[in-house]
Structure formats: structure tokens, C-alpha cells
Amino acid sequence: MADINLKEITLIVGVVTACYWNSLFCGFVFDDVSAILDNKDLHPSTPLKTLFQNDFWGTPMSEERSHKSYRPLTVLTFRLNYLLSELKPMSYHLLNMIFHAVVSVIFLKVCRLFLDNKSSVIASLLFAVHPIHTEAVTGVVGRAELLSSIFFLAAFLSYTRSKGPDNSIAWTPIALTVFLVAVATLCKEQGITVVGICCVYEVFIAQGYTLPLLCTTAGQFLRGKGSIPFSMLQTLVKLIVLMFSTLLLVVIRVQVIQSQLPVFTRFDNPAAVSPTPTRQLTFNYLLPVNAWLLLNPSELCCDWTMGTIPLIESLLDIRNLATFTFFCFLGTLGVFSLRYSGDSSKTVLMALCLMALPFIPASNLFFPVGFVVAERVLYVPSMGFCILVAHGWQKISTKSLRQNNL
């Protein structure tokens, strides 16, 4: 992995500044009002310990009306802004822009793991300017995404150093990874999904396994025709440590919300209170909708609620074709990346993981969320999209160069 240089950092920071300079002159809008203007946790008179007892909006976690969004470290940065400029919005927007620049630079370092130097810069620049980030960067509450992403990427980079000489286990990077995952989760809940990305990286990238090879090895072991390779045992140990740490974080998180899920209305998420099969069809359709926003962010919206996306109430709805096409395309990429061992398949696999795993908390898969579509939650998944685009550009440019040399 090549190190990033000052020229590349300057380029990325300059591009971010050019894109989001006008946000410095914006005020507080939409959710900013509840999170900033009406949130007493920002005031110096409020004890610091209260930040760790209340949700993102300043409501006690024990109350039924609480949103259950536990992000005390993000609120702590809001409090820092309040100490510097009270409720003058410029400092809040400035810090958001700085955090986005930091994420873009760290993302460049992540890209270097899977792409060449030029393609890595392209991926990072695309991420820096992608229009889907407008809400996350310009809206002050989007700081939860920005701050969580910093520690999300730092945790992943730390884990990539957990393979010591002679395939031994380096425990210090693993311990640092667990700490950074906890910090990312205290900034926003999706930070915990980096553990899944680390697991995929360990099995398919660091150890070089493919799905057929894993199945063959497991089958031989179960039939008593072979033993588990030592490298696989080491992998299992690392994964067990990661999963145990993740389970502990989940248990603590459940305790914090007192085993209660937030209550949302039909206005917030109409599909969540709809009958079968409307609920399932609509939730599945929202996946290609989000993917399309990454591919063609020409129609963005600050408030995707109620009727912005009509419910799918029938199997004959033409929009189900979009869902079917999306899953076919995703399945094709998944099979390619899991079946083959080349560098290209590894890059595609990690890009897919970055797109899919961080999106799971917002997918309504395990629990309903308080929105239909929220562009800010695509902040981390867009990293995978940018890697895919840069990888495609790398393949096309390499092929064109070979043809020109013939």
C-alpha cells in the first residue's frame, strides 16, 4: 500500500473546500433545529454526564418519546461548537466541512489497499464531490455520519495491520480496532458494521480464500479427511475476538436503550405499518432507489416522507422489475467476487461490502427506521460505489492502453 502524499491531500482538501464553501453561510434547517437550537445538552450549564444519558436530540433515553439514537460523542462536538460560537451556524458548518475532508483523505488511504495510485485518487475525488453527500455535509446533524466514518475507516485500517510476520496475529492493531469500533458506534450506530467488513477482509483478502475453497476445506474436515489449516485456525481466533467484542457492544447498546425500539408513525415510514406483501415489496424496492441515487443523483430531496415514494401494493407493479434487476446485478457481482481469487474480484468484493453492510441498519431488515429514504445514510455506502467506479475506470483504461500498444 503506497502512502498518500501532501500533494494528494492538498488536492482533496481543495476540492472539498470548493464544493462546500457556500455551506458556511447556511443556517440551521430541518433536524438541525431539534439537535442544535432546542437541545439543552449543548449548553455549558448542562452536566457533561447528561450527554451520556440522553439521545441525539437531548431527550432522556428512558422516556418513551426518545428516538433512541445514542450518539454522545457527536453531541459533544456540537457542545464544542456552542462553546466557541454559541448558536452561530458558521462554525458548525465549518467543522462539518473539515470532517468531510478528513474522511476523504482517509478514504484515499483505504482505496490504496485495492486500487492503483491514480484510480485511488479518482475514487477519493469522486467521494469528495458526490452530490449524495450534500445532506450529510451541509446539514449539521449529518455530522454523525462524518464523525462515525472517520473512526469507521480508522478501525478498518487498523485491522488490516493485524497480520504479523509469518502469518502470526498482531494483537495491538486488533485491540485498537475494537476501541475505534466502539468510538465509531458512539458517534452513530452504523459504526459497528465495520466489524463485518473486517471479517470479510480477513477471510477473503488477507487469507486469500474463495467461497469454493472454504466449502471444500470445511467439507473435508467434516468428513474426517483432513484437518483445519493453522492459518484458518488463526483466522477463526481473530474473528471470534471481533465477534465477541461486537456482541458486547450490542448488549451494551441494548441496555442503553432499555430494550425498547423507537416508535415511528405512518408519516415517518408508511411501509413499516403496511400489511404483507406491501411492506416487503416496498422495502425491497427502496434498495434499488438508493442505488439509483448513487448512480444518478439528479433528483435529491431533503425530506423523503409520506408519499414521496408510493407504496408497492401488487406484484404486478412495474417497479418490481427494478427490484428484480437490482438483485440480479448484485447477485452477479457477489458470485464473481466470492468465486474467483484475482485482484479484481477482491476489489469488487470489498466495494460490495462497503455498499451493503453499513446500509443494513437503515434497510428496515431488522427493525423499522424513521424515514423512507435518507440520503445521509448513503455516506459510507457511497465509498463502495466510488471504488467500483474507479475500478471500472482502471480496467477500461488498462485495456485501452494495451490495445494502443498493439
pLDDT in tens, 319-337: 999 999 999 999 999 999 9
Q: Is the model more confident about 220 or about 395?
A: 395
C-alpha dist (Å) from residue 395 to 115, 172, 390 = 10, 36, 9
Q: So what's the pLDDT on residue 71? A: 94
Q: What is the mean pLDDT of the chain?
A: 90
Q: Closest Cα partner for 349 from 152, 237, 192, 196?
A: 196
User: What percent of the chain lies above the pLDDT cut of 70?
Assistant: 96
- How confident is the model at residue 259, as a pLDDT? 64
3-class DSSP assignment, residue 54: strand
Please give the biggest Cα pair distance in the chain. Answer: 73
Say how far apart CA 45 and CA 40 lie, in whole Å: 9
**Region 242-246 average pLDDT:** 89
Predicted local distance difference test score (pLDDT) of residue 24: 95
> What confidence category does residue 2 fall into, taking pLDDT thresholds of 50, 70 and 90?
low
pTM of the entire predicted model: 0.93
CA distance 359 to 227: 37
| Among 338, 334, 339, 389, residue whose Cα is nearest residue 356 | 334
CB of 90 closer than 8 Å to CB of 138: no
- Of 29, 43, 44, 74, residue with least CA distance to 56: 74
For 348-386, the pLDDT digits (tens) are 999 999 999 999 988 888 777 878 888 999 999 999 999
State pLDDT tens for residues 140-151. Answer: 999 999 999 999
| Integer Cα distance of 373 and 301 in angstroms | 9
Closest to 66 measured CA to CA, from 236, 199, 257, 202: 257
Read off φ and ψ for residue 248, nearest 5 degrees.
-65, -40
pLDDT at position 375 = 93
Indicate if the pLDDT at residue 1 is higher than 60: no
**pLDDT of res. 380:** 97
pLDDT number for residue 288:
96
The mean pLDDT value for 232-238 works out to 84
230 band by pLDDT with thresholds 50, 70 and 90: confident
Determine the Cα–Cα distance for residues 288 and 97; give it in Å rounded to an integer.
29
Cα–Cα distance, 106 to 98 (Å, whole number):
12
Alpha helix (H) residue ranges in 21-116: 31-32, 48-51, 72-85, 89-111
Work out the number of other CB atoms within 10 angstroms of the CB of residue 124: 31
Give me the residue spans of the domains in the chain.
160-260, 266-405
Q: What is the pLDDT of residue 282?
A: 93
Q: What residues contact residue 174 under an 8 Å CB cut-off, 6+ apart? A: 159, 162, 238, 241, 242
